[in-house]
């Protein structure tokens, strides 16, 4: 086990995680308004052309914009102060520019966070995995679309994607970081053999499986047919019991019976774009502030004034709540770089006093 990346070598993280646990227990197992994580996309350039990308990377959207290191350092300091314990770096593709990534890691100071990367795994070789572990990265999530190499590569738009991603996960495990196999699940693949093969592979290899529900945003905007229905949700509840390595951000991770719902984590998990815009989550492209204009605390307080994000929801607003999607996620051209503004999209009644 590489010691540097372990929770047991991160006392500040332990403190914050305990506070989060205590809050959730006292709040009937629900996330409420407790701060949890920052999802940071500091640059949107990518080497693949995934059909469902929610950041429009395949279109080259803002590929040359970088969030500067000073701003990232300040963001991380403020997030730590506010009790955020997870830091998820996403892209784009992070490993496309490793020097930039390692500078960002130094700015964030991963010893304070459960810091992880979400990557397509194309450049995740043994040497890279070792270096990430040395930089105190706790987890690496690699997205896999199918156990059929051809299908995965076709969705990703590049040959060798599947093989490299699968190899990458092995390297993550070998270096003692937490290997997460990310699967996107929607109406099109829930309860299929195809989906089950992915679950079994992850379980058999002692990985965790992160389920992201398919969301009609980015390249899939307005494709409401992908949304999980009641039957699909019932199936997800069933497999949660069967596969103990399954994780969904909306599920209570501390529940030993694998039943409780933590609640939709909009604002609890913020998304920061290369322009410094703060969105309520990676998939709901609604802006509640910008880190160059306001402190993180001001942005979070403002976000939690909006009833939809303050109140508990058993459903993922972006991927399951059809009413919310219809009302707030279908504005033409709405993307991470052209988000709807909270002050415009919500009415006075949508805010708590």
Give Cβ neighbours of residue 91 (< 8 Å, ≥ 6 apart).
Answer: 41, 43, 44, 45, 46, 55, 57, 118, 119
Q: Work out which of 70, 193, 230, 256 binds another protein, going by CB under 8 A.
A: 256
Residues of span 116-145 touching another protein by CB under 8 A: 138
* CA 174/CA 169 separation, integer angstroms: 9
> Considering only 4-12, 187-195, 220-228, 261-269, which stretch makes contact with another protein by CB under 8 A?
4-12
Q: Work out which of 26, 238, 244, 326 binds another protein, going by CB under 8 A.
A: 244
Q: Work out which of 4, 11, 137, 336 binds another protein, going by CB under 8 A.
A: 11
Asked if 242 touches another protein (CB under 8 A), the answer is no
Give Cβ neighbours of residue 206 (< 8 Å, ≥ 6 apart).
Answer: 173, 245
* CA 166/CA 335 separation, integer angstroms: 30
| Distance in Å, CB of 13 to another protein, minimum | 8
* CA 280/CA 342 separation, integer angstroms: 10
Phi, psi (degrees; rounded to nearest 5) at 191: 60, 40
Beta bridge partners of 340: 286
| Distance in Å, CB of 42 to another protein, minimum | 24
* CA 243/CA 127 separation, integer angstroms: 31
Query: What DSSP state is assigned to residue 339?
Result: P
Q: Which is nearer to another protein, 79 or 291 (CB)?
A: 79
Asked if 253 touches another protein (CB under 8 A), the answer is yes
Residues of span 197-216 touching another protein by CB under 8 A: 206-208
* CA 200/CA 144 separation, integer angstroms: 13
Q: Which is nearer to another protein, 17 or 63 (CB)?
A: 17
Q: Work out which of 4, 17, 63, 82 binds another protein, going by CB under 8 A.
A: 17
Asked if 21 touches another protein (CB under 8 A), the answer is yes
* CA 133/CA 140 separation, integer angstroms: 10
| Distance in Å, CB of 303 to another protein, minimum | 24
Q: Which residues bind another protein (CB under 8 A)?
A: 1, 6-9, 11, 13-15, 17-18, 21, 25, 114, 138, 176, 178, 206-208, 244-245, 253-254, 256
């Amino acid at each position: 086990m590489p010691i540097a990346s372990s929770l047991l070598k991160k006392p500040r993280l332990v403190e914050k995680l305990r506070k989060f646990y205590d809050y959730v227990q006292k709040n009937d197992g629900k996330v409420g308004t407790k701060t949890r994580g920052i999802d940071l996309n500091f640059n949107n350039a990518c080497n693949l052309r995934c059909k469902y990308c929610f950041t429009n990377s395949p279109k080259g959207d803002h590929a040359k914009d970088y969030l500067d290191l000073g701003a990232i350092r300040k963001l991380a300091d403020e997030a730590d102060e506010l009790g955020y314990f997870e830091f998820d770096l996403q892209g784009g593709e992070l490993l496309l520019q490793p020097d930039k990534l390692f500078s960002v890691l130094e700015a964030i100071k991963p010893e304070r966070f459960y810091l992880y990367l979400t990557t397509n795994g194309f450049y995740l070789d043994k040497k890279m995995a070792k270096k990430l572990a040395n930089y105190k990265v706790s987890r690496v999530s690699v997205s896999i679309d199918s156990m059929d190499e051809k299908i995965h590569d076709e969705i990703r738009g590049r040959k060798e994607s599947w093989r490299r991603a699968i190899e990458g996960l092995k390297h993550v495990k070998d270096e003692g970081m937490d290997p997460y196999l990310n699967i996107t699940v929607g109406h099109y693949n829930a309860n299929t053999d195809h989906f089950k093969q992915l679950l079994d592979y992850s379980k058999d290899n002692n990985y965790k499986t992160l389920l992201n529900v398919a969301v009609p945003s980015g390249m899939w905007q307005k494709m409401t047919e992908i949304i999980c229905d009641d039957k699909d949700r019932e199936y997800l509840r069933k497999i949660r019991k069967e596969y103990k390595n399954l994780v969904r951000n909306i599920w209570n991770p501390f529940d030993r019976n694998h039943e409780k719902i933590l609640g939709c984590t909009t604002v609890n998990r913020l998304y920061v774009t290369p322009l410094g815009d703060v969105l309520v989550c990676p998939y709901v492209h609604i802006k509640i502030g910008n880190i160059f204009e306001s402190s993180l605390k001001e942005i979070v307080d403002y976000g939690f004034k909006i009833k939809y994000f303050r109140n508990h929801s058993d459903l993922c607003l972006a991927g399951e709540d059809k009413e919310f999607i219809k009302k707030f996620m279908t504005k033409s051209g709405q993307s991470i770089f052209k988000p709807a503004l909270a002050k415009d999209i919500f009415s006075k009644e949508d805010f708590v006093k």
